């Protein structure tokens, strides 16, 4: 039997949603705290001395002033875009045609897919991300590579083969039938294997015909425990394109709803320019939206209405949107979310930012009981942050009057240097 491991340091976890009521009141903070790992599970959290006394045989890993948090959860990424991140000067549709599609064509080569999958998971681990939901490419082998690499690492990931049957290069097109058959085969092979989940993945309405969306809706109905991920209302010219392709639809969301692709377990990336009916239906059905702030600024998409959508009760996750997003770091993503909140006149509290990157994203993907938390019984994914990782951060944190003043400089200025240690599935992955 594996020996218990006790991680000690400052500890922050969440007992509720900091967007409801006082943002600081939903936080569990232990100045001298700890979390006890047994195998791949968290079995206790609390004060370090009490845990030491209750578990004297545990191996102690003391992180001193390090801040122990749940591992970051990235709710919307494109791992195949790893190599082309930070590509200059385009908006969404031109960016897809100029950068994304040429790169995704390379994933017809299984060896290239395997190389990028390993690189992507190395990079995200270095930034403290322990789980993510990823689009793959149209090639089934791209999903196989992603899942195989995650399985080798014992990592909780969700992904799916991207489905497109129009408005993309020939080498990236499938059909309604092959999208259904390939997705079903991948789902049946990988969903539930290790810590892997499958997401049915039509890229978005401009690249999927009604027949393909209908097939994806049918597959989701057959496998309701899977997630479904797509894009919604990212840019105004994209919305106009959807309107021209589907003049019969009430709005963009209706192009999915009409084919059984709107319910709890649906993840809609971006969701910036929503109509009132769309907000109503997202709230009524329990679907989730995912805020991708670095992507929204980098590609010039717009300002997500975090305060407004949370006030309506929507489930909201946070994401890097690699490689439309310009960084692999959830710290940088939190910083961008703060800046967008400022531009909308609703700055986010540090507790809200950390919650979005952990429990919020976990809830958005339907896994709040397993990831994004340090609660007993959850999976043992942990990140430890150094709150004085650079001279600039250290000198500001030294003036902090409370926890949040100490944490906020790392949110705003931190990068992979702030990530002191990462544990995935109860095993050390970094540090």
Other CB atoms within a 10 A radius of the CB of residue 164 amount to 24
Read off the DSSP letter of residue 129: E
Q: What is the pLDDT of residue 1?
A: 57
- The confidence band for 97, taking pLDDT boundaries of 50, 70 and 90, is confident
Q: What is the pLDDT of residue 96?
A: 87
Q: What is the pLDDT of residue 389?
A: 98
Q: Tens digit of pLDDT for each residue in 19-42?
A: 999 998 999 999 999 999 999 999
- Cβ-in-10-Å burial (0-12, 13-18, 19+) of 361 comes to buried
Q: What is the pLDDT of residue 92?
A: 77
Indicate the SS3 state at residue 43.
Answer: strand
Q: State how far the Cα of 199 lies from the Cα of 267, in Å rounded to an integer.
A: 9
Question: How large is the average pLDDT for residues 367-388?
Answer: 98
Q: State how far the Cα of 92 lies from the Cα of 236, in Å rounded to an integer.
A: 10
Q: What is the pLDDT of residue 94?
A: 86
Among 227, 228, 277, 229, smallest CA distance to 252 is for: 277
Q: What is the pLDDT of residue 253?
A: 98
Question: How large is the average pLDDT for residues 198-222?
Answer: 98
Contact yes or no for 90/98 (Cβ under 8 A): yes
Q: Where are the alpha helices (DSSP H) in 154-292?
A: 176-190, 210-222, 236-245, 252-257, 276-285
Percent of the chain predicted with pLDDT > 90: 95
Q: State how far the Cα of 69 lies from the Cα of 419, in Å rounded to an integer.
A: 11
Q: State how far the Cα of 20 lies from the Cα of 18, in Å rounded to an integer.
A: 5
Q: State how far the Cα of 50 lies from the Cα of 30, in Å rounded to an integer.
A: 12
Q: Tens digit of pLDDT for each residue in 149-178?
A: 999 999 999 999 999 999 999 999 999 999
| CATH no., domain 5-71+373-430 | 2.30.40.10
Q: Is the pLDDT of residue 2 over 70?
A: no
Across the chain, what does the average pLDDT equal? Answer: 97
Q: Where are the alpha helices (DSSP H) in 202-356?
A: 210-222, 236-245, 252-257, 276-285, 293-298, 306-311, 330-343, 350-355
pTM of the model: 0.98
Where in the sequence of the chain do the CATH 2.30.40.10 domains occur? 5-71+373-430
CATH architecture of 72-364: Alpha-Beta Barrel (3.20)
Where in the sequence of the chain do the CATH 3.20.20.140 domains occur? 72-364
- The confidence band for 363, taking pLDDT boundaries of 50, 70 and 90, is very high
Q: Tens digit of pLDDT for each residue in 240-277?
A: 999 999 999 999 999 999 999 999 999 999 999 999 99
């Amino acid at each position: 039997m594996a020996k218990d491991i006790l991680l000690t340091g400052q500890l922050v976890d969440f007992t509720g949603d900091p967007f409801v009521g006082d943002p600081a009141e939903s936080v569990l903070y232990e100045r001298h705290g700890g979390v006890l790992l047994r195998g791949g599970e968290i079995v206790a959290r609390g004060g370090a001395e009490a845990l030491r006394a209750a578990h004297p045989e545990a191996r102690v890993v003391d992180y001193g002033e390090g801040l122990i948090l749940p591992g970051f959860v990235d709710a919307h990424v494109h791992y195949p875009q790893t190599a082309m991140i930070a590509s200059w000067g385009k908006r969404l549709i031109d960016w897809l045609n100029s950068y994304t599609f040429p790169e995704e064509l390379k994933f017809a080569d299984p060896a290239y897919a395997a190389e990028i999958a390993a690189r992507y998971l190395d990079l995200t681990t270095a930034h403290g991300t322990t789980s993510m939901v990823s689009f793959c490419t149209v090639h089934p082998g791209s999903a196989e590579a992603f899942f195989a690499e995650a399985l080798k690492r014992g990592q909780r990931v969700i992904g799916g083969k991207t489905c497109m049957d129009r408005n993309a290069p020939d080498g990236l097109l499938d059909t309604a039938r092959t999208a259904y058959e390939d997705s079903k085969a991948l789902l049946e092979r990988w969903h539930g294997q290790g810590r892997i989940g499958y997401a049915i993945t039509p890229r978005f309405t401009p690249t999927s015909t009604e027949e393909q969306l209908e097939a994806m809706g049918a597959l989701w109905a057959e496998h309701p425990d899977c997630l479904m991920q797509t894009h919604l209302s990212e840019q105004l010219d994209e919305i106009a394109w959807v309107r021209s392709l589907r003049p019969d639809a009430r709005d963009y969301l209706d192009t999915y709803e009409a084919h059984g692709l709107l319910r709890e377990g649906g993840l809609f990336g971006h969701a910036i320019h929503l109509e009132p009916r769309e907000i109503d239906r997202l709230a009524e059905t329990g679907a989730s939206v995912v805020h991708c702030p670095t992507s929204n600024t980098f590609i010039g998409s717009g300002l997500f209405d975090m305060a407004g959508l949370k006030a309506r009760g929507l489930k909201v996750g946070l994401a890097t949107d690699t490689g439309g997003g310009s960084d692999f770091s959830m710290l940088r993503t939190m910083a961008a979310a703060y800046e967008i909140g400022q531009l909308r006149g609703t700055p986010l509290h540090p507790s809200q930012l950390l919650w979005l990157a952990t429990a919020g994203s976990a809830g958005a993907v339907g896994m709040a009981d397993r990831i994004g938390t340090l609660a007993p019984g959850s999976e043992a994914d942990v990140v430890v942050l150094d709150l004085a990782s650079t001279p600039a951060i250290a000198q500001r944190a030294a003036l902090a009057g409370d926890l949040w003043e100490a944490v906020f400089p790392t949110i705003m200025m931190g990068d992979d240097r702030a990530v002191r240690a990462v544990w995935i599935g109860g095993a050390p992955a970094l540090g």
